[in-house]
Amino acid sequence: MELTIKQIAEAFSNHNFEITYPFVSDNIQWNMVGGELIIGKGNVIKTCEQSANYLKTVETTFSKFLVLETDTFITIDSVSDYIDQDKNTSKVASCDIYKFDSGQLIEITSYCIELGKEN
């Protein structure tokens, strides 16, 4: 299946990681600003699978999903609401900047912060 760079980025930010794997460069770098730097396709997939396992246990709703596109970059600014099995809630704002080269995802920079109840 062929996807545009916009579709790849949207799928990744929507937590549909698996369909993006064929488009992830072997040498990808994922910088979680203020957190870890993940290098290599295998490590990125491992991180995605861990996240996907957690996300199976919560209900996710996006209240904001803004996509900005250029020829080689996609930026997604989003706000997600999560509800776990005990009805605990959290709201997370994130901005993901995806860099592509020849249709391959080569770099992700992610900014993420948990928002208070009033936001």
Distance CA(67)–CA(73), nearest Å, equals 10
Range of the domain at 107: 5-115
pLDDT band at 1 (very low <50, low <70, confident <90, very high): confident
pLDDT for position 118:
59
Give per-residue pLDDT as tens, 59-99. 999 999 999 999 999 999 999 999 988 888 999 999 999 99
Q: How many domains does the chain have?
A: 1
Angle at 25 between CA 20 and CA 29, to 5 degrees: 100
How far is 20 from 46, CA to CA, in rounded Å? Answer: 13
pLDDT band per the 50, 70, 90 thresholds, residue 57? confident
Q: Read off the CATH number of the domain in which 23 is found.
A: 3.10.450.50
Which pLDDT score is estimated for 72? 97
